[in-house]
Amino acid sequence: MKKKKVCGLWSLPDAVVVNCLAQLSRLDFAALAIASKNHRSLVVSPELRDLRWQQRCMEPSLYVCLRIFPEPSPRWFILHPMQRWLKPIHMDLYQAPKSASSFVVMGCGICIIGGLVDGKPTSEVSFFDCFEHRWYRMPPMKMARASASASLMTDSKIYVFGGCGDDVANSSNWAEVFDVATLTWDFLYVFTPKMPLNIQQSVVMIKEKEVYVVDEDGQNFSFSPSKCMFVARGKTDSIPGNIYRNDWCVIGTFLFCRGTRGRILWCLPYELHWKEVKGLEELQQWGFDITKLCTNPAGNIVIFWKPHPLSLELWSIEISISLVKRRRNGREILGKIEWSGAVFKLDPLIDSSYSLKVLSADYVLA
């Protein structure tokens, strides 16, 4: 009998192959996956993912969820790092996020928590694995919620506040906590200065190990998992109508958010005295509203915008920031546009009646 000649990767021990592949980029994985089914099964194997995580070889990739009206279900995309273009993610078992869902980055994926189904809150929770590009159903919450505040803390637990409606909310069901280790939900009794506490914005302050929130009245509070209570900080949002400042995020010791008419604002977390990021006047001259704001691992701000409300084109801008101290005006933060360009476009001949909305944009290590 003639023996089949084995060459290339398959001539090496499995452990050696996985260790070599762990050093490659995800672009290399994409090229390798089209070589054969065996190569594809190897690059998406759990063993390779776990080794990359242990060796800290995971790469940050930007995942964007777009609602393209009038399509019934949102679509997921990944930003190609070289082409800077949103590539569609094709999944066999697609679990569409609902409207008013909460998105939390956890490990190498994204948790989609609650939301609205047929106009009613749901307790469903799903996990999108950004390495395998597959959906997994997670244990549901004990309470149906929509537009809740959800945060992953350093104790590897997800804390969810509100979203269950003022008519049913009370101190016993207003908060839940998800233990990532045991995959279980439990109600969490949390002391709050007032009930219901209708949270409008929330961010995780990693250094302080707190969740920082602002309610509908502009009052700010902080939640500490160790104390299991919200503490009023005694400050009020300096600009009325805080619903116009969305997508709060933290860079260093500063808070950033998107305002109206292309403005990006910043403040110190526990002061809430908002100021405009300088040096970005051309954004306002373009006359557009920012549709989404997030931060990347480099500490830069990434925004998405459309040239006009009915545009079928989506643009992105990456902005670096720097702190400047001035004698008269105190501290100022300057922004500098590092890159800008279109990242997505619908075919106007086919999709002329469509419209775009960015539901989420998150960097995930995968």
Tell me the C-alpha distance between 162 and 150, whole Å: 9
186 shares its domain with 223: yes
Residues 106 and 225 in one domain: yes
pLDDT tens-digit readout, 259-278? 888 899 999 887 888 899 99
Q: Are residues 100 and 225 in the same domain?
A: yes
Q: In sequence order, which residues have a C-beta less than 8 Å from that of residue 359 and are 6 or more positions away?
A: 65, 66, 67, 74, 97, 101, 103
Q: What mean pLDDT comes out for the span 170-198?
A: 91
* Beta carbons of 80 and 344 less than 8 angstroms apart: no
What's the whole-number mean pLDDT along residues 312-334? 86
Q: What is the chain's percent helix, strand, coil content, to nearest 5?
A: 10, 45, 45
Of 189, 216, 236, the last residue of a domain is 236
Domain boundary among 217, 236, 255: 236
* Domains contained in the chain, number: 3
With tokens 């419209």, the residue in question is: 355
3 assigned to some structural domain: no
Query: What are 142-162's pLDDT values in tens digits?
Result: 999 999 999 999 889 999 999
Give 274's contacts (C-beta < 8 A, 6+ positions apart): 237, 238, 239, 245, 259, 265, 266, 267
Cα–Cα nearest to 321, from 278, 273, 289, 268:
278
How do residues 294-306 score in pLDDT, each as one tens digit? 999 999 999 999 8
* Distance of alpha carbon 5 from the chain centroid: 48
**Block residue for tokens 């001539």:** 11
CB 77 within 8 A of CB 63: yes
Average pLDDT over residues 11-25: 81
Q: What residues make up the domain containing 121?
A: 93-236
Determine the Cα angle at 292 with ends 286 and 296, to 5°. Answer: 105
**What residues contact 85, with CB distance under 8 A and at least 6 apart?**
79, 343, 344
Which of 76 and 95 is assigned the larger pLDDT?
Answer: 76
Same domain (yes/no): 249, 225: no
4 burial (CB, 10 Å; 0-12 / 13-18 / 19+) is exposed
Q: 103: closest CA among 127, 130, 71?
A: 127
336 and 322 within one domain: yes
Strands of 50-97, DSSP E: 60-69, 75-79, 86-88
What is the rounded average pLDDT of the residues 15-40? 81
Answer yes or no: is pLDDT of 9 > 70.
Answer: no
In a domain, 49, yes or no: yes
Domain check: are 252 and 361 in the same one? yes
Same-domain check for residues 197 and 161: yes
- Are residues 80 and 105 both part of a single domain? no
262 and 140, same structural domain?
A: no
On whether both 172 and 300 belong to a single domain, the answer is no
pLDDT in tens, 34-64: 877 777 787 878 888 888 888 888 899 999 9
Same domain, 86 and 119: no
Whether the per-residue pLDDT at 16 is higher than 70: the answer is yes
Instruction: Give the list of residues 6+ apart from residue 115 with CB closer than 8 angstroms, or none.
Output: 97, 98, 99, 100, 101, 102, 121, 122, 124, 146
Confidence of residue 244 (pLDDT cuts 50, 70, 90): low
What are residue 351's phi and psi, to 5 degrees?
A: -115, 40
Q: Which helix (H) or strand (E) holds 314?
A: strand 313-326
CA–CA dist 81, 62 (Å, integer)? 9
Contact between 324 and 342 (Cβ < 8 Å): no
| Residue 247 pLDDT > 80 | yes
Residue type, 65: C
Q: Which residue has the tokens 């969490």?
A: 188
In this structure, the answer to whether residues 224 and 319 fall within a common structural domain is no
Nearest of 296, 295, 244, 304 to residue 274 by alpha carbon? 244
Q: Confirm whether 123 is domain-assigned.
A: yes
pLDDT value at 352 more than 70: no
Burial class of residue 202 in the structure, from the number of CB atoms within 10 Å of its CB (0-12 exposed, 13-18 middle, 19+ buried): buried
